[in-house]
Structure 1
Amino acid sequence: MSFSSPPTATAALAPARLNAWQVLACGAAIVTLSMGVRHGFGLWLLPITSEQGWSRESFAFAMAVQNLSWGVFGIFAGMAADRFGAFRVLIAGALMYTLGLLGMAWSTSTTGFALTAGVLIGAAQAGTTYAVIYGVIGRQIAPERRSWAMGVAAAAGSFGQFLMVPVEGWLISSFGWQQALIWLSAALLLVIPLALGLREPGFAAGQAPVREQTIVQALREALGYRSFQLLMAGYFVCGFQVVFIGVHLPSYLKDNGLSPQVASYALALIGLFNVIGTYAAGALGQRLPKRHILAFIYLARAVAITVFLVVPLSPMSVYVFAAVMGVLWLSTVPPTNAVVAQIFGVAHLSMLGGFVFFSHQIGSFLGVWLGGLLYDSTGSYDVVWLIAIALGVFAALVNLPVRETAIARGPHRVGASA
């Protein structure tokens, strides 16, 4: 199977593309590692706060800072990847991830924990996850297969959650939470050899391909475009929901008398079923309007959370909820990024993906931090669950007006709205 368009005279002058399967294999493996480790951080909440004598809000604040840092640095990681290629950004991200996990293990104060588990790991995730990988996919895989390929990469991140969360739970129970973090820090160094498979020919000697827009022009155009604003609003909700659930679900279940194993299995089920959801969302994005896919995902999340809160809590209800949420978990990622590429092209895709993801991470910051703050002040997570439901309905509505057609560029079109 070939993912490339037929050669043309123009294409013959362009840099050679990487092998599509090589891009998918290396990109998927990197996302598996980076996202797999990230999805398991909720397992550290209780052991770290118990041993260190910290409040849940302190841990939640560090995770909130991590998500905000990821969003802020994601913009600059995207710019660097568009300018110098993904390879250099991935190397820097892998090294920062390793240092951040070691700092997380050895921090003795909440400030140090927020700087390492928060700022440093957040910056590392910016350089080792979707914005950077999707930039390579957008440039190296033909448009008619792009949404599908993004679904494959997102599915890999979900498989990483299914694979890594039980491993992280086993490491904590077998070696203690500190040693578990040290083992994971070593595992993240595998990103470096995998990044070799994503060295794009067009970025040889640090030279980026010629573009019709500068960074400032591309950014002004996107931020002034109504559909881009709506995508950012929807992605804000995505971040709020998934990070609140991912970090606080283990504690919510323990508070209600369920064992830590139920939480580990639930997070693993979310990852397993999200393999199906993200792949399906990417594949369907080649056939259906992506705005309809996004609206369905957000509305279905609101319904799933509502049902979960209404039915009696049991291990079975948790597993069913995890499976349903898993299908919906990161399935917003392929259609959202594919729409951005479809509207604006791929020249600045990593940067624009970073800006959309920044909105996601503001939502993540609020979701994880409010979860800890409101729990400490009210003694329950009820208010945050209700906020997550309302936001799901909001996100479904704002995605419906998104226009997916390529933007019309001209001397008077930059920054036009739709």
Structure 2
Amino acid sequence: MSTPSPGAATSAPQTLSALQVLACGAAIVTLSMGIRHGFGLWLQPITQDLGWTRENFAFAMAVQNLSWGLFGIFAGMLADRFGGYRVLMGGAVLYALGLAGMAWSSTTLLFTLTTGVLIGAAQAGTTYAVIYGILGRQIPAERRSWAMGMAAAAGSFGQFLMVPVEGFLIAQFGWQQALLVLGVAVLLVVPLATGLREPATGAAGPGAVRQQTIGQAVREAFGYRSFQLLMAGYFVCGFQVVFIGVHMPSYLKDHGLSPQVASYALALIGLFNVFGTYAAGVLGQRLAKRKILAFIYLMRSVAITVFLLAPLTPWSVYVFAAAMGLLWLSTIPPTNAIVAQIFGVAHLSMLGGFVFFSHQVGSFMGVWLGGLLYDRTGSYDIVWYISIALGVFAAVVNWPVREAPIQRGPQRVGGAAA
């Protein structure tokens, strides 16, 4: 068992105000998530200009999501141990380099390494796992779900704000120059990260004293049934949102709708997700979070089904985008709040990283299968149907999740509780 640093248990006041944490964290998530939400706008300009297939582009995006999930585990470990602000600053630099590499890649291999691996690693260090770890340690438990909803809403506002901006940049300057502009913009994360510098090693705050090693915390979580169910549900979340976010612009253009419809649709998803994620965070303080998650996943399947059955018009797209927006990232606050509620906050960034890795495996499958099956069949229909079925599956597996804090024996803190 690791020994807490001297005075950690007795002199760990919240030296960061809730307003400061939320303002800086929300600004970072707005920028980092806003940029990545618009990557679908680059699919056709890049593939047409470089003579690549949609599968080439989709594979790089799939690798990006997998890289994000994998590196997110280690980013979480580093943030828990050394403080999230250091990880955020490093992630911002990687993000800028990755966007420059995305602009200048001349081969599919280089494109996959920069757009996929490098940007994915950057996103791991500039998004939810790190930010939520800081929120969990600095915000009291009774306001934690609300605070996580606020941060997720900021990411949604980033989509609403940045997607039209990215579409404008592509139209005015071309896709390469647009990426370079975004590479400069993402460096704003560096000064914002200094506002999230926590006391001591980043483990300050009520309940954050480590009573487990990393290995004990991992074994405990993976041996706990509810953690496994949360990971299964989060796989579905990643599959659905990344498939829609990356491939819907091309799906709409294939059916004769203008690129502006896709830009407006993605922006509407971001706008309505501001309300959806905030509502999920607020409701998570009052209702069982597992029931909120089950409802969200089931309603996604309903929304996709209605969208496919209705005639495809700009207005049907906008209605679908608004509905999906309410459900888009609203899974994030209750999922992470459940993890904090069960296991505590000492290893929250790391455990959140593991859950998010499952999300990103789903993202990999959704975006890659979208490109693969389109190239094979000339249609996205099969992936839409898979998304519907997976939504029902996720609703079912989240229903039996147990939210109560795990019971640890005094001598066996790392043991798994069933």
Partner residue in 2 for 1:250: 249
Distance 1:225-1:255 versus aligned 2 partners, 3 A rule: same
Equivalent position SS for 2:287: coil
Q: Is the 8 A contact 2:84 2:134 kept in 1?
A: yes
Partner residue in 2 for 1:222: 221
Partner residue in 2 for 1:414: 414
Partner residue in 2 for 1:139: 137
Shift of 1:11: 7.0
Partner residue in 1 for 2:319: 320
Aligned partners of 2:416 and 2:220: how far apart in 1? 7
Partner residue in 2 for 1:3: none
Equivalent position SS for 1:416: coil
Partner residue in 2 for 1:400: 399
Partner residue in 2 for 1:78: 76
Q: Is the 8 A contact 2:216 2:413 kept in 1?
A: no
Partner residue in 2 for 1:389: 388
Aligned partners of 1:313 and 1:43: how far apart in 2? 20
Candidates 41, 45, 48, aligned match of 1:47 = 45
What is the 5 A alignment of 1:341-380?
341-380=340-379
Partner residue in 2 for 1:267: 266
Q: Is the 8 A contact 1:281 1:293 kept in 2?
A: yes
Q: Structure 1-normalised TM-score?
A: 0.96
Aligned partners of 2:265 and 2:49: how far apart in 1? 24
Partner residue in 1 for 2:102: 104
Tell me which amino acid in the other structure corresponds to 1:167: V
Partner residue in 2 for 1:335: 334
User: Post-superposition, which runs of at least 4 consecutive aligned residues in structure 1 deviate over 4 A?
Assistant: 9-12
User: Which consecutive unaligned segments of at least 5 residues does structure 2 have?
Assistant: 1-6
Aligned partners of 2:12 and 2:295: how far apart in 1? 39
Distance 1:402-1:381 versus aligned 2 partners, 3 A rule: same
Aligned partners of 1:379 and 1:11: how far apart in 2? 60
Partner residue in 1 for 2:15: 17
Tell me which amino acid in the other structure corresponds to 1:48: I
What is the 5 A alignment of 1:234-313?
234-313=233-312
Tell me which amino acid in the other structure corresponds to 2:414: V
Equivalent position SS for 1:198: coil
Shift of 1:416: 2.5
User: CA offsets per residue over residues 8-52 of structure 1, 9 Å max, x none?
Assistant: x99752244311100000000000000000000000000000000
Q: Is the 8 A contact 2:272 2:325 kept in 1?
A: yes
Equivalent position SS for 1:385: helix
Partner residue in 1 for 2:188: 190
Aligned partners of 2:329 and 2:200: how far apart in 1? 30
Q: Is the 8 A contact 2:211 2:413 kept in 1?
A: no
User: CA offsets per residue over residues 306-350 of structure 1, 9 Å max, x none?
Assistant: 000000000000000000000000000000000000000000000
Equivalent position SS for 1:13: coil
Q: Structure 2-normalised TM-score?
A: 0.96
Shift of 1:211: 1.1
Candidates 29, 32, 36, aligned match of 1:31 = 29
Aligned partners of 1:95 and 1:81: how far apart in 2? 16
Shift of 1:54: 0.1
User: CA offsets per residue over residues 131-151 of structure 1, 9 Å max, x none?
Assistant: 000000000000000000000
Partner residue in 1 for 2:176: 178
Aligned partners of 1:185 and 1:316: how far apart in 2? 34
Shift of 1:203: 2.0
2:124 matched to 1:126? yes
Q: Is the 8 A contact 1:222 1:415 kept in 2?
A: no
Aligned partners of 2:31 and 2:267: how far apart in 1? 14
2:232 matched to 1:233? yes
Percentage of identical aligned residues: 79
Aligned partners of 1:269 and 1:164: how far apart in 2? 12
Aligned partners of 1:415 and 1:390: how far apart in 2? 35
Q: Is the 8 A contact 2:40 2:246 kept in 1?
A: yes
Aligned partners of 2:417 and 2:396: how far apart in 1? 19
Aligned partners of 1:160 and 1:325: how far apart in 2? 16
Aligned partners of 1:349 and 1:204: how far apart in 2? 12
Q: Is the 8 A contact 1:299 1:396 kept in 2?
A: yes
Tell me which amino acid in the other structure corresponds to 1:330: L
Candidates 41, 61, 64, aligned match of 1:66 = 64
User: CA offsets per residue over residues 242-264 of structure 1, 9 Å max, x none?
Assistant: 00000000000000000000000
Aligned partners of 1:415 and 1:175: how far apart in 2? 57
Q: Is the 8 A contact 1:79 1:348 kept in 2?
A: yes
Aligned partners of 2:412 and 2:100: how far apart in 1? 51
Q: Is the 8 A contact 1:223 1:415 kept in 2?
A: no
Partner residue in 2 for 1:150: 148
Q: Is the 8 A contact 1:150 1:334 kept in 2?
A: yes
Partner residue in 1 for 2:3: none
Q: Is the 8 A contact 1:68 1:365 kept in 2?
A: yes
Tell me which amino acid in the other structure corresponds to 1:78: G
Aligned partners of 1:228 and 1:24: how far apart in 2? 27
Shift of 1:412: 4.8
